[in-house]
Amino acid sequence: MRDRWRAPFHLSVLMCAGLLSCKSDSTSAPSPTYPEKDHAAEAARLLGTPDWYRHAVFYEIDVRSFSDSNGDGIGDLQGVRSKLPYLKDLGVDALWLMPIMPSPFKDSGYDVADYDAIAKEYGTLADFDALLSDAHAQGIRVFMDLVLNHTSDQHAWFQDSKTSKTNPHADYYVWSDTAGRSDVGCGTYGPQFGSSAWTLAPERNQYYFHRFYPGQPDLNYKSPDVVAATLAAAKFWMDRNVDGFRCDVIALLVETATGCDMVPDTVAYIKKLRALLDGYPNRAMVAESTNFTTTAAYYGSGSDMFSMAFDFGFGYLWGGVMKSTSAADVAKPFVNAQQYPKGAQEALVIGSHDVARAYTTANHVQSRWRRAALLTLTMPGTPFIYYGDELGLRPGTQVIVDGRDTARTPMLWDASPNHGFSTVAPWIAYGAEADTINVDVEKNDPTSDYVFYKQLLALRRGREAFGTGTLKVVAADDPSILYFERASGDETYVVVMSMDESDTHTGTIPGVSLPGDAQRLFGDATLTRNGVDASVTINAASYGIFRVR
């Protein structure tokens, strides 16, 4: 399912992006060539303001699976550091590192045993400082994963808390004499975490509450000591100069009798965390949302809670949406987000450590994951690329903790026996097709996913319209044609996409009054002005990005 026939059109991007002159298409009216700004200078300008995160492309890294620097089969911080040139070259502006704090790794590090240190498998605080310093020197920012809802049962706080009802950390966790409490109106978060959210600690002869695995006791945010201690942990990393946090299941901090999702005490805590970040220049934070239909609750007034929240309405459900032929269904989550508080910035994904690889979600249909990726890179919102999705990384089959492990296999750098990831067997087996789906092969294949991503990142870079521009979605007379405009300052872009994977479509977009003729920058669709209307022709499952002003 590799779209080799499309290669010439992808290559035209680099030409039309200003590197070479852009010849008009022989099959349509002469194409204009709009004057290009200095995109490198524009990118530097846009990424240098407090709004930098609205223009950045993020990249999520499972440190354990990215690059192993010392030959123990486990990825580490020096490994990530060694790959900064790759990330810079790809066009990445910021990293989100999955948890790197000490942990028994019963849940990929989302079970923190010490908030103020680095897991020994990953390196030292000095290694972290070196990574951060090198990343900053290359203009790449770094977010850490902040896991505040729970700790590991190996954390010193829990080790103390479980011993008695009177120790200094006795109320750091949510305890009960029975396996339930009337003021805790929720159970485990999902079926993989078990049937009961309460586990007996024999030493204390009480049950503790855990929304996830039994090794992940929930912290008690009704305790002022817990609030102070976790804010101090955030400050520890802020003071080390990290650029912000991805906050794990932040909605679930406080439990009440009637609900456990973004209750008022949780909102109050998030505002404290934001106030802490606002004490440092140009920081930001992104929420892992637990709501698939709206993320409005995460933004508060637009400036007092999260800078960004993951939109899983598209991010987790796109496999079904992209399978339909309805452009309106595809546009819906992006259109809905326009109603959020001013300042709200959606974080857009097609993959993460919590879901299947994009390859799987798309039912192996390459044009489907590519179109989904293209939407995350052109719709309003900040794209977060999950490591390896720029290769179309295939899933693994080995499961160590749970099924999510199939999307946490090592990054594939080349076709050598350990794929440039390590010199020994990896901690978890490589994914499928590793000899052909890897960086080395795809860099040299103009039809590869890697080249697709790299060209789109180059196209987006330094074009303000894709970061903070307005969105206008217009219904075509053909329901399978998606049409939207992004506009900012003196530039307007049009993105068109076909949701039909079988046939070529030609449709009319009524009343759009395009300000100028279309210069195609990407894809193979055509866009023509017809008075106040426009007409679009798109091959099956294809797309086009145009400049019209």
What is the C-alpha to C-alpha distance for residues 380 and 473, in angstroms, rounded to an integer?
11
Which residues lie closer than 8 Å to 317 by C-beta, 6 or more apart? 292
Strand partners, 471: 486
Residue indicated by tokens 């948890």: 99
Contact status: 68 vs Ca ion (CB under 5 A): yes
CB 499 to Ca ion: min, Å: 40
Contact call for residue 149 and Ca ion (CB under 5 A)? yes
Is 442 a known active-site residue?
Answer: no
Of 76, 243, 288, 464, the catalytic one is 288
Q: Which is nearer to Ca ion, 76 or 478 (CB)?
A: 76
Go through the chain and tell me how many residues it has.
549
Q: Taking the mean position of all CA atoms in its chain, how far away is CA 386?
A: 6
Query: Quick check: is 464 catalytic?
Result: no
| Cβ closest to Ca ion, residue 65 vs residue 352 | 65
Tokens of 462: 């330094």
Nearer to Ca ion, 76 or 517 (CB): 76
**How far is residue 521's CA from residue 510's CA, in Å, rounded to a whole number?**
22
Of 36 and 72, which has the nearer Cβ to Ca ion? 72
127 binds Ca ion (CB under 5 A): no
Contact track, Ca ion, 69-98, x by CB under 5 A: -x-x-x-x----------------------
Least distance between Ca ion and beta carbon 118 (Å): 12
Dmax over CA atoms of the chain, in Å, equals: 81
E strand or H helix at 534: strand 533-538
Contact pattern for Ca ion over residues 216 through 235, marking x by CB under 5 A? --x-----------------
- Candidates 341, 348, 344, 374; CA nearest to 459 is 374
User: Distance between CA 314 and CA 319 in Å, rounded?
Assistant: 9
The region of 99-107, 143-151, 311-319, 322-330 touching Ca ion under the rule CB under 5 A is: 143-151
Please state the closest distance from residue 32 (CB atom) to Ca ion, in A.
52
Minimum CB separation of residue 73 from Ca ion in Å reads: 7
101: contact with Ca ion by CB under 5 A: no
C-beta of 264 vs 279, nearer to Ca ion: 264
Residue span binding Ca ion (CB under 5 A) among the ranges 97-105, 183-191, 249-257, 526-534: 249-257
Of 128, 101, 143, whose CA–CA distance to 283 is shortest? 143
Q: Which residues neighbour 5 within 8 Å (Cβ) at sequence distance 6 or greater?
A: none
Which of 216/345 has CB closer to Ca ion? 216
Q: Would you say 186 or 475 has its CB closer to Ca ion?
A: 186
Strand pairing class (58-61; 382-386): parallel
Q: Which one of the spans 141-149, 359-367, 372-380, 424-432 is the region binding Ca ion (CB under 5 A)?
A: 141-149
Cα–Cα distance measured from residue 548 to residue 33, given in angstroms and rounded to the nearest whole number: 9
Per-residue tokens: 444 = 């040299």
Regarding 248 and contact with Ca ion (CB under 5 A), the answer is no
Judged by CB under 5 A, which stretch of 4-12, 247-255, 277-285, 344-352 contacts Ca ion?
247-255
Q: Please work out, in degrees rounded to the nearest 5, the angle formed at the alpha carbon of residue 49 by the alpha carbons of 47 and 50.
A: 115
Contact 208, 174 (CB under 8 A): yes
In three-state secondary structure terms, 383 is: strand
Q: Cβ of residue 228: shortest distance to Ca ion, in angstroms?
A: 17
For residue 315 the two structure tokens come to 């991010």
Nearest Cα to Cα of residue 443 among 418, 420, 461, 410: 420
Residues 501, 366: Cα–Cα separation, whole Å: 11
Residue 158 beta carbon to Ca ion: minimum distance, rounded to whole angstroms: 14
Q: What is the C-alpha to C-alpha distance for residues 167 and 156, in angstroms, rounded to an integer?
A: 12
Each residue 14-53 as x (binds Ca ion by CB under 5 A) or -, in order, gives ----------------------------------------
- The nearer residue to Ca ion, 104 or 446, going by C-beta atoms, is 104
Whole-number Å distance between alpha carbons of 508 and 511: 9
Query: Residue 119 corresponds to which tokens in the numbers above?
Result: 């897991």
Binding mask 182-221 for Ca ion (x = CB under 5 A): ------------------------------------x---
Q: Which is nearer to Ca ion, 221 or 484 (CB)?
A: 221
Residue of 62, 93, 127, 248 with catalytic role? 248
Shortest spacing between CB 76 and Ca ion, in angstroms: 4
Size of the site for Ca ion (CB under 5 A): 8
CB contact set of 281 (below 8 Å; sequence gap of 6+) = 50
Q: Which residues are catalytic?
A: 248, 288
Which residues contribute to the site for Ca ion (CB under 5 A)?
68, 70, 72, 74, 76, 149, 218, 252
